[in-house]
Amino acid sequence: MEWWKERAFYQIYPRSFMDGNGDGIGDIKGIISKLDYLKWLGIGAVWLCPVYASPNADMGYDISDYEAIMEEFGSMEDFDLLLKEMHKRDIKLIMDLVVNHSSDEHRWFREARKRKDNPYRDFYIWREGKEGREPNNWSSFFTPSAWSYDETTGEWYLHLFSEKQPDLNWENPSLRKEIFAMINRWLDRGVDGFRMDVISLIAKDQTFPDAPGEGYQMDPTLFSFRLQMHQYLKEMRNTCFRGRDCMCVGETTFVNTTNAPLVVGDGTELDLLFQFDLMDIDGGISKWDLRDFDLARFKQIICRWQQAIPWNTLFWGNHDQPRAVSRFGDDTSFLLWNRSAKTLAAAMYLLKGTPFIYQGEEIGMTNYPFKSKDELRDVESLNLLKHATRDEKGKAWKGILAKGRDNARTPMQWNEENNAGFTTGTPWIAVNPNYMHINVEDEQSEEWSILSFYRQLLSLRASEKTILEGDFVLLLPEHPHIFAYERTTQDSRICVYCNLSGEEEKLELPEKGQILIKEAYEDGILQPWGCLITKQNAENSG
Ligand code: ISL
Ligand code: CA
């Protein structure tokens, strides 16, 4: 089995993981100091969020030099040491690859905006305005319009994210050549693969038509999953990845079960992809339209994806999402916080696929109780407030509390010391005040902790062939509160029952099953947010 199927991934958001030099900002030295912890937990690979040079308009997702390390994070020597120390512990490292756009401070863009005939002009997407306005009505993820006007040359450039993140022009073969060469240099350095940021958006409809509707609009068909995207990915595969023992996982924004098999189906494009159906489950047209979690819908999404592609990514969150236990579990009491975090983990990470655990999730870190705008750091939230009308402000703030990305970006909680042991200086973003009872050190020593449970779950997954390879079947499909499934091979059958509610539920033990893990299950009752994992071997099941 490929290593990227077998191993569990851990996502590190370096700015908030561990500060090694006391300046309040997480860094590479800090990460190195915590590798033994990751090994202890049972992690086999790390996805490292961007560590490249960046003015941090979007916290590293705006890269000004793809081949330099952000000074705040350390040096290239530090990076090489990190890689060496990871490999020494048999942990693989995949980097973030952000090539849909660069920073406006990248050398290419600084050249491009100088003159229309600059050799780098065509590395970006420039158009003339229409009657003094934008070339079309496209909106961006972070700003009302996806175009910004550039005084010097009198044209507009496209940015699907902030105005400091101009989109790269993938139609241009010279741009592709530069990108592929850069990827190859990282692979030659020894990295084991990439997580590709919004890689589904790299090809745009070259006629740049208006999106249907009034005002600024987003029509994903005009800039995602286009035919050329498949061509570029194949070209990248052939030029960079073929013949190397590495992997790539795409952040395939706007993927669905129909187009997914085209990207991960035959190994000519990507190995894995992130889909966002689950992350959208509590949103409306926009993520800020808050909606309740619906278990029936959850089951549908899981089943649909387990069937659609041979291998899924399994995750409850990332650096763009609020904290899983606050969002999908119950963080209102100590007991339910502890149980629901565990049960969410059991519900997700024994499915067929590769787990991606976001830093802090394994100790049950929660959303942050933001009180004012000054505590926010994220361009998405700040822009949301900036562009909200007076009437929209209340809804925007509610949205930020529930879904703002800074919730997941507060510092990792290591121990009970100052700033949760993250830094001896002043942290760049506030530490969650609950670190006195939610932290790694305390949880490492408690058998009943969320952390101990994650460790146990990962070790179970690694040791049970049935969990790695078995078929997936949904159990109790109509149950209103329990999410249950089985994984089966010829040898054994493993069943997972998760009570994703605050109600007590009756649950008879399947006959002759051996209990592998139980949490709040006693006398045929699955307590609120409890879970039960059983195993039957073929000999005694039949
Ligand atoms: O976070 C989002 C909105 O809440 C998502 O729409 C997000 O913008 C989208 O999934 C793309 O995310 C990636 O690219 C962005 C960056 O800000 C995110 O951090 C990154 O994960 C632009 O590079
Ligand atoms: Ca630091």
Q: What is the pLDDT of residues 278-323, one digit of tens each?
A: 999 999 999 999 999 999 999 999 999 999 999 999 999 999 999 9
Q: Comparing C-alpha atoms, which of 143, 134, 135, 111 is closest to residue 124?
A: 111
The rounded Å distance from CA 141 to ligand 1 centre is: 8
Which residue among 320, 321, 382 has the greatest number of ligand 1 atoms within 8 angstroms of its CB, and so is best to mutate? 320
Ligand 1 close to Cβ of residue 61 (< 6 A): yes
Which range has the worst mean pLDDT, 113-122, 356-365, 496-505, 510-519?
510-519
The rounded Å distance from CA 342 to ligand 1 centre is: 27
Mean pLDDT of the chain: 97
Q: Comparing C-alpha atoms, which of 330, 313, 234 is closest to residue 278?
A: 313
Strand ranges inside 4-84, DSSP E: 9-12, 45-48, 52-53, 65-69
Whole-number pLDDT of residue 23: 98
Q: Which residue has the tokens 């029509």?
A: 219
Give the number of the ligand closest to the Cα of residue 168: 1
Answer for the pair 484, 476: CB distance below 8 angstroms, yes or no: yes
Q: Whose CA is nearest to atom 1 of ligand 1?
A: 320
Q: Comparing C-alpha atoms, which of 13, 16, 104 is closest to residue 54?
A: 104
197 catalytic per annotation: yes
- The rounded distance, in Å, linking the Cα atoms of 156 and 146 is 10
Spatial neighbors of 134 by CB under 8 A, at least 6 apart, are 145, 146, 147, 156
The rounded Å distance from CA 140 to ligand 1 centre is: 11
Whole-number pLDDT of residue 511: 73
Ligand 1 close to Cβ of residue 288 (< 6 A): no
Give the number of the ligand closest to the Cα of residue 23: 2
pLDDT digits (tens, 9 = 90+) for 338-384: 999 999 999 999 999 999 999 999 999 999 999 999 999 999 999 99
Ligand 1 close to Cβ of residue 58 (< 6 A): yes
Which residue among 54, 197, 356 has the greatest number of ligand 1 atoms within 8 angstroms of its CB, and so is best to mutate? 197
> Is the whole model's pTM more than 0.85, yes or no?
yes
Which residue among 11, 13, 61, 202 has the greatest number of ligand 1 atoms within 8 angstroms of its CB, and so is best to mutate? 61
What dihedral do alpha carbons 515, 521, 526, 529 form, nearest 10°? Answer: -100
Sign of CA dihedral 408, 411, 417, 418: negative
- The rounded distance, in Å, linking the Cα atoms of 158 and 161 is 9
Task: Give ion ligand 2 contacts, CB < 5 A.
Answer: 19, 21, 23, 25, 27
User: How is residue 101 annotated by DSSP?
Assistant: B
Task: Write out the two tokens for 29.
Answer: 């030295």
pLDDT digits (tens, 9 = 90+) for 203-254: 999 999 999 999 999 999 999 999 999 999 999 999 999 999 999 999 999 9
Ligand 1 close to Cβ of residue 161 (< 6 A): yes
Task: Write out the two tokens for 392.
Answer: 């929209």
Atom of ligand 1 nearest to the CA of 62: 23
Q: Whose CA is nearest to atom 19 of ligand 1?
A: 320
The rounded Å distance from CA 441 to ligand 2 centre is: 21
The rounded Å distance from CA 458 to ligand 1 centre is: 28
Residue 414: pLDDT above 60?
yes
pLDDT digits (tens, 9 = 90+) for 426-448: 999 999 999 999 999 999 999 99
Task: Write out the two tokens for 423.
Answer: 């830094």
Burial of 165 (0-12, 13-18, 19+ CB in 10 A): buried
Ligand 1 close to Cβ of residue 51 (< 6 A): no
Q: Whose CA is nearest to atom 11 of ligand 1?
A: 198
The rounded Å distance from CA 355 to ligand 2 centre is: 28
Split at pLDDT 50, 70, 90, the class of 542 is very low
The rounded Å distance from CA 160 to ligand 1 centre is: 10
Split at pLDDT 50, 70, 90, the class of 95 is very high
Ligand 1 close to Cβ of residue 253 (< 6 A): yes
Give the number of the ligand closest to the Cα of residue 62: 1
- The rounded distance, in Å, linking the Cα atoms of 532 and 214 is 51
CA distance readout (Å), 310 to 4, 253, 338, 481: 13, 19, 32, 27
pLDDT digits (tens, 9 = 90+) for 61-78: 999 999 999 999 999 999
From the candidates 72, 155, 197, 331, which is the catalytic residue?
Answer: 197
Ligand 1 close to Cβ of residue 287 (< 6 A): yes
From the candidates 251, 282, 380, 406, which is the catalytic residue?
Answer: 251
Whole-number pLDDT of residue 538: 85
Answer for the pair 227, 176: CB distance below 8 angstroms, yes or no: no
Residues in the chain: 542
The rounded Å distance from CA 15 to ligand 2 centre is: 8
- The rounded distance, in Å, linking the Cα atoms of 133 and 510 is 66
Spatial neighbors of 6 by CB under 8 A, at least 6 apart, are 44, 462, 468
Domains of the chain plus CATH, in order, are 3-98+275-456 (3.20.20.80), 468-540 (2.60.40.1180)
Ligand 1 close to Cβ of residue 224 (< 6 A): no
251 catalytic per annotation: yes
Give the number of the ligand closest to the Cα of residue 27: 2
Split at pLDDT 50, 70, 90, the class of 512 is confident
Q: State mean pLDDT over 20-43.
A: 98
